[in-house]
Amino acid sequence: MFALPKRLTRAPANASSAELEELAGRWTTRLRSEDGDDMTDDDLLAVLRGVARLAASAVNTGSGLYSWSF
């Protein structure tokens, strides 16, 4: 489970497409350095854009971003 503070929720919500692409590039580099060949096959830019849409919705409604799994 995790919850993002408002500052970290606003960052992707207000990010430009170029900023999201840059962040996805950094995430890809980081994941490859951590996971090597076992890196996820997910399109990280698409995932990040989805997170940004959720963040924008959270900011617009005065809410936050939370995630949990069982």
- 1-10 confidence digits (pLDDT tens): 567 778 878 8
Whole-prediction pTM value?
A: 0.62
pLDDT for 57 equals 87
pLDDT tens-digit map of 42-64: 777 787 788 888 888 888 888 88
For residue 5, the SS3 value is coil
CB 65 within 8 A of CB 58: yes
pLDDT tens-digit map of 18-35: 988 888 788 777 777 776
Confidence band for 37, pLDDT divided at 50, 70 and 90: low
